[in-house]
Structure 1
Amino acid sequence: MSRRWWTSDLHLGHAGILAHTQRPYGDTETMNVDLIERWNERVDPADEVYILGDLAMGPVAEMLELVELFNGTKFLVPGNHDKCWEGLRRKQKNQVDRWRRSYEAAGLTVLDGELALQLGHVEVVVSHFPYEGDSQEVERFPALRPKDRGAWLLHGHVHEKWRQHGRMINVGVDAWGGYPVAESDLVALIAAGPRELPRLPWRR
């Protein structure tokens, strides 16, 4: 029986992420290999995985070649660091379209913008961005964030800042010890209600 998983902010190939988060790697090659191993420890080939943005940075074309090494059918909700993000369209229309084709050729189904999906008995909003908060001091892209109308939100973008903040659940690898999150775990968090949960440590 197939399962559904959630993750975000892998930042494959991004050397800068090592300095800005608490990832236990000395270089990006080691990070890339370990993120693939952690993913495949949990995700089976028949499973689905929703990636809520910021899949790769650095040499993006090279990093997209790694996508086939990750198990499962993969869906990408682009984030601000993804070359196919619609937020880049005003300045880079032709490049966004070209990059989208590259992401899709790598085996990703690209889903635009903010989505509403069913988790258990609850409809949730899905976006790269939280309603509020950021990984940096300045809150970026306020006009492009989902509006808080009382729904639960699955998101990325904030890295290790929190795992859960009220009705916002961060599915990013920096909040979940480098692993994708099982949908059953997210359903359990929603059932437990709004609360504050810190990131999980990176462990083996």
Structure 2
Amino acid sequence: MAHPLDLHRPPHLAPGAAQVSRARRQGLPEPGNRMNVPKIIRMRHDRGGRAGTAIGEMIYFTGDTHFGDPRVLRIDRRPFSNMAAHDTALIANWNETVSPQDEVWHLGDFAAKRTGLAEDLLSRLKGRKHLIVGNNDPIDTIGAGGWDSVQHYAELMVDGRLLVLCHYPFRTWNQMGKKSINLHGHSHGRLKPMPRQFDVGVDARGLRPVSLVDILPKSPR
């Protein structure tokens, strides 16, 4: 699979034929197009601390749901006897947290490779959903209807904080020296984080999406 940033090279770095072919196979825009360069998406908070694209909307983060993949019961020891119970619980947790008007950024590894599975799940999950592609996201997931956007990398400005989103945790990231925040998945809660780096995968977050307020350490009073 392509490096997570391969599809987002600056336009002056011409992509090779292999990169273009890879992007086409994955159903993503071809690299080298100026529109593919990641842009900072600006969010805002209302006075109640709710983050979103408009007043009253929230923005949530999650990842590594692995719907339909029985390996998570064995490897991650998720507390379910079977995948039907697992998927039902994760869907319920999601929909208890997220409202239809909210934004959800899924940081990769959404669901198992099964025709129609991702699209069915997306139709049952609340919110406007964005995918940051993970190493276990097949073409059926990437190309499923129901995503508002699909990309390997994104930067969001939320309440004056730059958030750098990728499936993989970074050792360094954009504006790290200016207190930007790296949100990631992939490590299933097992990685010791760097300062201002947070795993938003479900294994690290109580099996449900979380907001920036949930993620950031609470300041002492």
Question: Could you state the TM-score of these two structures normalised by the residue count of structure 2?
Answer: 0.66
CA contact (8 A) 2:183 2:200 kept: yes
Counterpart position of 1:68: 123
1:63 and 1:165 mapped to 2: Cα distance?
32
Q: 2:104 pairs with 26, 49, 58, which one?
A: 49
Is the 2:188–2:202 Cα contact (8 Å) retained in structure 1?
yes
In the comparison of the two structures, how many residue pairs are matched?
Answer: 161
Find the counterpart in structure 2 of residue 175 from structure 1: 204
Residue type of the alignment partner of 2:209: P
Gaps of 5+ in 1: 85-97, 133-145, 193-204
Q: Which residue in 1 is equivalent to 2:63?
A: 8
Contact 2:173 2:182 in 1 (8 A): no
Indicate the RMSD between aligned Cα atoms, in angstroms.
2.2
| Distance change >3 Å, CA 158–CA 60, structure 1 → 2 | farther
1:124 to 2:163 alignment: yes
The 4+ residue runs of structure 1 with deviation greater than 2 A are: 58-64, 98-101, 146-149, 162-167, 183-186
Deviation at 1:119, TM superposition (A): 2.2
Aligned position for 1:115: 154
Q: Which runs of 5+ in 2 are unaligned?
A: 1-55
Q: Following TM superposition, by how much is the alpha carbon of 1:2 offset from its aligned partner in structure 2, in angstroms?
A: 1.4
TM-score, scaled to structure 1 = 0.71
Does the CA-based 8 Å contact 1:13-1:60 persist in structure 2? no
Bigger share in helix? 1
TM-superposed CA distance for 1:152, in Å, is 1.8
- Aligned residue for 2:60, secondary structure, equals strand
**Amino acid across the alignment from 1:11:** H
Distance 2:62 2:192 in 1: 12
Q: How does 1:5-154 map to 2 (within 5 A)?
A: 5-59=60-114, 61-84=116-139, 100-101=142-143, 103=144, 105=145, 107-132=146-171, 147=173, 150=176, 151-154=180-183
Offset from partner CA, 1:46-93 (integer Å, 9 cap, x none): 111010000001425324312111111111111010114xxxxxxxxx
Give the conservation status (yes or no) of the 8 Å contact 1:163–1:176: no
Identity of aligned residues (%): 30
Q: Whole-Å Cα distance in 1 between the matches of residues 79 and 115 of structure 2?
A: 22
Q: Does 1:158 align with 2:197?
A: no
Change (3 A) 1:119 1:60: farther
Q: For residues 116-150 of structure 1, what are the alpha-carbon distances to aligned partners after superposition, in whole Å with 9 as ceiling and x for unaligned?
A: 11122111211010015xxxxxxxxxxxxx75762
CA separation of 1:41/1:99 partners in 2, compared to 1, >3 Å: closer, same or farther?
Answer: closer
